[in-house]
C-alpha cells in the first residue's frame, strides 16, 4: 500500500474546508400580480444587502414569473421589482407607510419559496384651472405622498408632470396611499402678454441703437 504524500493530504483537507465554508444560500420564488395571482414574466428583480444596497444583484423573471439568486453570506436583504405598469416596490411593502419586509437569509430560514405580490400602479388625473375656471396651459403639477418615515408622518415629493394645452395632467405609476396635488402655472393670456412685452423691448432696443448710431454720412 502506497503512502500518500503529506502535502497532498493537507491540500485536499484545505480544499474541502474551503468548500464547506463557502455556503451558498438560495433566494428564489415567483412574482405574481396581486389581483389576478397570475405569474408575471419579464419583471426586473433586484436583491441587495440592507446594509449595502449598491451591491445588488439583478435578473429578469422567466415566462413562469420565476427568479433565483445565490448569495454567499447570511444576513438581511431587500427584494425589489419593477415592470412597465408596476411601480418600483419592495417585498411586502406597505405603501401607505413606506415600510417593507427584508428577506432574512440564514440556515434556519426557507428563502426558496418566496411569492412576491406585485401591485399595479395607480394614476392621478385632473385639470388645472384658474380662478375664472379657465384652463392653465403648461402648469407644473407636483405630487406629494403622505408617508410614515422613521415613526413620523412626512409629506414627500413623489413625481411631477406638465399640464397640456387644455390644462389636463396625468401622473401614473403610483402605489396605493394618500397624495397631495400642487400646481403652479400662468393663466392662458399670460404668454401672450409676455410675448407682447418681449416684442416691445426688442423694438425699444432697435430704436435706441438707431438713435445712438445716427444717420449715415452724406
Q: Which residues pair with 78 in a beta bridge?
A: 48
Given a cut of 90, is residue 76 above it in pLDDT? yes
| Residue matched to cell numbers 452724406 | 218
Show Cβ contacts of residue 20 under 8 Å, excluding neighbours closer than 6 positions. Answer: none
What confidence tier does 130 reach under pLDDT thresholds 50, 70, 90? confident
Q: Pairing between strand 114-118 and 25-33?
A: parallel
Q: For the residues 114-126, what does the mean pLDDT come to?
A: 91
Given a cut of 80, is residue 21 above it in pLDDT? no
CA–CA dist 61, 68 (Å, integer):
9
Domains and CATH numbers, the chain: 23-118 (2.60.130.10), 122-208 (2.60.40)
Burial of 86: CB neighbours in 10 Å, binned 0-12, 13-18, 19+: buried
Please report the pLDDT score of residue 92 as a whole number. 86
- The more confidently predicted of residues 96 and 84 is 84
What confidence tier does 201 reach under pLDDT thresholds 50, 70, 90? confident
Structure confidence by residue, pLDDT tens digits, 142-196: 999 887 776 788 888 888 899 998 999 998 878 777 889 999 886 655 666 556 6
Amino acid at each position: 500500500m502506497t503512502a500518500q504524500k503529506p502535502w497532498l493530504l493537507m491540500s485536499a483537507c484545505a480544499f474541502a474546508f474551503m468548500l464547506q465554508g463557502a455556503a451558498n444560500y438560495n433566494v428564489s420564488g415567483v412574482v405574481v400580480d396581486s389581483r389576478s395571482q397570475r405569474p408575471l414574466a419579464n419583471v426586473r428583480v433586484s436583491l441587495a444587502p440592507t446594509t449595502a444596497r449598491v451591491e445588488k444583484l439583478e435578473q429578469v423573471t422567466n415566462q413562469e414569473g420565476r427568479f433565483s439568486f445565490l448569495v454567499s453570506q447570511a444576513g438581511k436583504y431587500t427584494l425589489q421589482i419593477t415592470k412597465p405598469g408596476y411601480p418600483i416596490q419592495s417585498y411586502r411593502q406597505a405603501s401607505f407607510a413606506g415600510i417593507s419586509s427584508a428577506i432574512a437569509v440564514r440556515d434556519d430560514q426557507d428563502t426558496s419559496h418566496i411569492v412576491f405580490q406585485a401591485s399595479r400602479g395607480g394614476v392621478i388625473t385632473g385639470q388645472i384651472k384658474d380662478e375664472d375656471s379657465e384652463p392653465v396651459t403648461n402648469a407644473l403639477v407636483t405630487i406629494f405622498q403622505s408617508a410614515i418615515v422613521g415613526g413620523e408622518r412626512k409629506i414627500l415629493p413623489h413625481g411631477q408632470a406638465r399640464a397640456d394645452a387644455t390644462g389636463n395632467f396625468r401622473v401614473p405609476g403610483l402605489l396605493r396611499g394618500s397624495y397631495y396635488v400642487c400646481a403652479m402655472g400662468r393663466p392662458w393670456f399670460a404668454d401672450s402678454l409676455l410675448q407682447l412685452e418681449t416684442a416691445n423691448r426688442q423694438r425699444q432696443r432697435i430704436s435706441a441703437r438707431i438713435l445712438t448710431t445716427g444717420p449715415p454720412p452724406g
